[in-house]
Amino acid sequence: MRGTLVLAGVLALAAVSGPPVIAAPAAAGDVTADISRNPATGIFELTVQKAGRVVLPASPLGIRTATADLTTGLRETARSTRVVNETYRMTTGKRLDRAVQHTETRISLADTGNARFDLVLRVAPDGVAYRYELQAATDVLSEASAFAIPGNASAWLMDYSPQHENQRFRTTAGGAALREYGNPSLFQIGQDFVLLTESNVDGRYAGSSLVHTGGGRYQVQLKDQRVLGARIGPWRTMIVGDLATVTESTLVDDLADPSRISDTSWIRPGKVAWSWLSEHSSPSDFERQRVYVDFAARNGWPYALVDEGWSSQWVPELTRYARAKGVDILLWYHWNSVDTADERKREFDLLQAWGVKGVKVDFMESDSQSRYQFYDAILAETAQRHLMINFHGSTIPHGLARAWPHLLTMEAVHGAEQLPQPNGNPIQPFTRNVVGSMDFTPVSLEVGPRVASIAHEIALPVVFESGWTHFADKPEAYGRFPEALRFLNQVPTVWHQTELVNGFPGESAVFARRNGDRWFVGGIALGGARTMTVPLSFLGSGSWLVETIKDGSGRSDVVRTTSVHSSADTLSVPVPENGGFAAVICPVTPGRTSCYQPIAQVPDTSLTVTPAGSVTVTPGSSFEVTGSFTNSSMRPLTDVELKPSVPAGWTVTGAPVTATVLRPNAVLNARWTITVPANVSSGGFEVPIAAEYQVPDFPRVHVARTVRGLVPLTGSAYVSDLPFDSATNGWGPVERDMSNGETGGGDGRTLTVAGTTYAKGLGVHAVSDVVISLGGTCRTFTASVGLDDETTSPGSVAFQVVGDGRVLGETGVMRTGTPAAPIAVDLASVQVLSLHVSDGGDGKNFDHADWVNAHLAC
């Protein structure tokens, strides 16, 4: 919306006989909502108007519960009205600071049996919303809620799927096939637009779709046949106005619950280097991930996301490497691996210890109440641990980012992962992106179909809004387009203001977004070459420096030109077929020749620790560690602290060493004594020594090195009862004393090989490695090995016992149904034991393998 729209007065009640009518006039927006009882059917209906024009004809209201049909035969028992005035601040979105000015009427309704509920109506300058509030929690079966759209209205719809990733297409409200469509859905009714969606949906309810039942009538269909224990429903939301009002609306967030997080200082939107799309195998490659970290650091991107395939064996080291360069690590999870409270505690506590700052959680693919309860739980638990989050394979935004501001983006879009043609791009900002941050993963310069122009691609992070922007291509690809990369390095992901300049769904879109005193403009178009125009009326007074980035010849790098304009001017940019452009605009000031700002880099520092090699300790003993932190740069560091972190129950003698200022070439030295508990468990351990400091343009920088050691195993033990140095697995986690099961932890069955069951052992899936430090104190390893009976098809694997890199024993290829084979090896002087399972040479499908009765004698 342009400017501030003020809702005037309160709901005006009709002082006439006949059906009750409610009207809510908005002085600037001219949106009114009328609720009346249809005398022919006895059904309460909603009508919405814009400036006297009907945009939503009379549409039914009501709800059916397990105990009452609250759709007909209702009477009004009470009514109250209030004005809702709120202000709040977001961490993401079209603008950070929001003001809510709604008129709310609550109508209490009862049926003939005196079953009651409240119909709550909100009218805002940019739309209308209503919800049902039941007197007591009960099971909800369905809603009568529907939207009667004129049949000739243009419609931009998406076939419903629970991951919300189908393409959107243009049709008419009445001509659309009679089937399910996903929220949000956009309709043009005469000169007005209406975007239908829902807000404030969480685990108290279920999500919904819109079913076209004929003639332009779209029925709300709940995604559960029975919503359990519901009391307050979500807001059925209609954003109403011209295209600018719809695209700039924050109504979905305005209707949502207030933030549950009081301190948001740890939440940091930003750009993300991401490798999975351009090279699917790279997330399993430590060295390749270091390349992405280096690229992010050089270009001022604060994050690198390691997607599916990362290993706990090297992520801690990668995180330390990245944090020293001012880059934080984000990690991908399949939702099944964190769908229980125990799994989330185990995994997220580990991420906190490593220094990981956020997670991408994938494949929820459901709008059921139970899946929304999962969202509630994981949002609360990540917030508690100061882990930011991104949902993929998810539902659409419902205002969750207001309630949980560490939710920085969601997928729910036919994005770059689909390798799409560009024809969907100019639809998304008028539909999906209206309701919240959208993780499209933009800017595919070399990966994908290469149909959109280079300038079209680099305009997408301005046209599309996302609190985290994950860039789709590899460092080398961006390096071949240096001018395009320079622009990407300037684009923020946080906006103080958003304006739709011009465009039309499916044809073109030009957006201007402001961060501080700089405006960023992005324009995209479909079809043949043309000249795109940008009226600069969104600018303030005075002269403005405009740097325009447009396509070069063919598929070469973009070209940047500079000019000076005022708000009375119009910028014209020629674009090629499926082209686009971008611009950066800033006030003209003396000496300013560019709107581009320098890319911040962390200072050069070094940290050395001792002991440099592995240390072996016994229960109850002590050992010394030292740290030496050097400022190798020409910049002073402030608020420096150097300290160790020890496992729970261990003690440190000696305080952290600090310096208010560490000047260039200065060194901070420290020495501590670490005492090991008398009851410490055997296994490997790490003592990180970390220097943290403050420097402008960065959050607190963390530089760490690790002292590694071992508490040797004594006596004898089953391997499933011991801590692992690391464990990697081809399907879900390694399971202790149960079969591998599915992708979640603890979901296996009794270990069973060729019909024989076992109580102790490890359940794994090829390719798998379990690593345990022994310290040279163990004599033998024994086990029986084979494929578990739980799979539905035959598999094949090979088992190896590896000591200090040498194969000590192996089975050759084994197949499903073969009895467990004994394996025994001599471990004299072995420091590190690895239990390895390969896929048998024919792929890893159905390769659930068991190390049963795996035992160490030491």
Percent of the chain with pLDDT over 90: 90
Residue type, 730: G
User: Is residue 19 predicted with pLDDT exceeding 90?
Assistant: no
Q: Are residues 763 and 823 in the same domain?
A: yes
Q: Does residue 107 lie within any of the structural domains?
A: yes
pLDDT at 704: 97
Q: Does residue 344 lie within any of the structural domains?
A: no
User: Is residue 364 predicted with pLDDT exceeding 60?
Assistant: yes
Element (H, E) at 231: strand 227-232
Q: How far, in Å, CA of 834 to CA of 532, rounded?
A: 62
Q: Does residue 244 lie within any of the structural domains?
A: yes
Q: Are residues 622 and 743 in the same domain?
A: no
Q: Tell me the backbone φ, ψ of residue 719, rounded to 5 degrees.
A: -60, -35
pLDDT tens figures, 757-803: 999 999 999 999 999 989 888 999 999 999 999 988 999 999 999 99
Q: Tell me the backbone φ, ψ of residue 506, rounded to 5 degrees.
A: 85, -5
**Beta 235-241 vs 146-148: how paired, if at all?**
unpaired
pLDDT at 29: 61
Q: Are residues 734 and 680 in the same domain?
A: no
Q: How far, in Å, CA of 338 to CA of 344, rounded?
A: 5
The token pair that represents 384 in the structure block: 């508690």
pLDDT at 740: 96
Read off the CATH number of the domain in which 657 is found.
2.60.40.10
- Spacing of C-alpha 482 from chain mean position: 28
Neighbours of 343 (CB within 10 A): 18
User: Is residue 33 predicted with pLDDT exceeding 90?
Assistant: yes
Please, which pLDDT band fits residue 613 given cuts at 50, 70 and 90?
confident
User: Is residue 40 predicted with pLDDT exceeding 90?
Assistant: no
What residues contact residue 504 under an 8 Å CB cut-off, 6+ apart? 243, 426
pLDDT at 42: 86
Q: Are residues 740 and 658 in the same domain?
A: no
Q: Are residues 224 and 81 in the same domain?
A: yes
What residues contact residue 705 under an 8 Å CB cut-off, 6+ apart? 320, 607, 608, 609, 627, 688, 689
Instruction: Check if the beta carbon of residue 831 is closer than 8 Å to that of residue 773.
Output: yes
Q: Does residue 268 lie within any of the structural domains?
A: no
User: Is residue 743 predicted with pLDDT exceeding 90?
Assistant: no
User: Is residue 255 predicted with pLDDT exceeding 90?
Assistant: yes
User: Is residue 9 predicted with pLDDT exceeding 60?
Assistant: no
Residue 250 falls in which region: left (phi positive, over 0), alpha (psi -120 to 50) or beta: alpha
Q: Are residues 135 and 198 in the same domain?
A: yes
Instruction: Check if the beta carbon of residue 688 is closer than 8 Å to that of residue 674.
Output: no
Instruction: Check if the beta carbon of residue 637 is closer than 8 Å to that of residue 668.
Output: no
pLDDT at 356: 98
Average pLDDT estimate for 734-748: 90
Please, which pLDDT band fits residue 682 given cuts at 50, 70 and 90?
confident
Number of domains within the chain: 3
Q: Does residue 707 lie within any of the structural domains?
A: yes
Residue 288 exposed, middle or buried by CB count within 10 Å (0-12, 13-18, 19+): middle
Average pLDDT estimate for 664-679: 97
Domain closes at, from 711, 738, 765:
711
Q: How many helices (H) and strands (E) does the chain have?
A: 10, 58
Q: Which domain holds residue 636?
A: 605-711
User: Is residue 303 predicted with pLDDT exceeding 50?
Assistant: yes
Reported pTM: 0.90
Q: Are residues 67 and 123 in the same domain?
A: yes
Before 184, cis peptide (omega within 30)? yes
Percent of the chain with pLDDT over 70: 97
pLDDT at 12: 35
Q: Are residues 246 and 103 in the same domain?
A: yes
Q: Are residues 661 and 727 in the same domain?
A: no
Average pLDDT estimate for 510-537: 98
pLDDT at 532: 98
Q: In DSSP terms, which residues pair with 637 in a beta bridge?
A: 662
Cβ burial 412-440 (10 Å sphere, 16+ → b, else e):
bbbbbbeebebbbbbbbbbbbbbbbbbbb
Provide the edge-to-edge strand list for the sheet that holds 796-803: 726-728, 768-773, 832-838, 796-803, 806-815
Q: How far, in Å, CA of 303 to CA of 335, rounded?
A: 21
Domain closes at, from 254, 269, 284:
254
Q: How far, in Å, CA of 849 to CA of 858, rounded?
A: 25
Nearest residue to 192 via CA among 141, 254, 137, 240: 240
Question: 3-class DSSP state for residue 749?
Answer: coil
Q: How far, in Å, CA of 121 to CA of 23, rounded?
A: 10
Residue type, 265: S
Domain closes at, from 230, 254, 278:
254
Average pLDDT estimate for 812-821: 95
Q: Are residues 99 and 237 in the same domain?
A: yes
Neighbours of 451 (CB within 10 A): 14
Please, which pLDDT band fits residue 14 given cuts at 50, 70 and 90?
very low
Handedness of CA 562, 563, 567, 572 (dihedral sign): negative
> In the block, which residue shows the tokens 């801690």?
316
Residue type, 605: T
What is the residue-wise DSSP string for 389-420?
Answer: EEE-S----SSHHHHSTTEEEE--S--GGG--
Residues in the chain: 858
Neighbours of 448 (CB within 10 A): 20
- Spacing of C-alpha 789 from chain mean position: 37
Read off the CATH number of the domain in which 748 is found.
2.60.120.1060
Out of 13-27, 142-156, 291-305, least confident range: 13-27
User: Is residue 617 predicted with pLDDT exceeding 50?
Assistant: yes
pLDDT tens figures, 692-709: 999 999 999 999 999 999
pLDDT at 454: 98
Read off the CATH number of the domain in which 160 is found.
2.70.98.10
pLDDT at 842: 86
Q: Does residue 817 lie within any of the structural domains?
A: yes
User: Is residue 522 predicted with pLDDT exceeding 50?
Assistant: yes
Q: How far, in Å, CA of 847 to CA of 837, rounded?
A: 9
Q: What is the mean pLDDT of the chain?
A: 94
Please, which pLDDT band fits residue 746 given cuts at 50, 70 and 90?
confident
Q: Could you give the residue numbers annotated as active site? A: 362, 417
Q: Does residue 588 lie within any of the structural domains?
A: no
What is the residue-wise DSSP string for 466-522?
Answer: -SEEEE-S-HHHHHT-HHHHHHHHH--S--SEEEEEEEETTTEEEEEEEETTEEEEE
Q: Are residues 645 and 722 in the same domain?
A: no
Out of 23-27, 179-183, 511-515, least confident range: 23-27
Average pLDDT estimate for 717-725: 91
Q: Are residues 796 and 782 in the same domain?
A: yes
pLDDT at 624: 97
Q: Does residue 720 lie within any of the structural domains?
A: yes
Residue that wins the pLDDT comparison between 280 and 25: 280
Please, which pLDDT band fits residue 726 given cuts at 50, 70 and 90?
confident
- Spacing of C-alpha 95 from chain mean position: 19
pLDDT at 2: 32
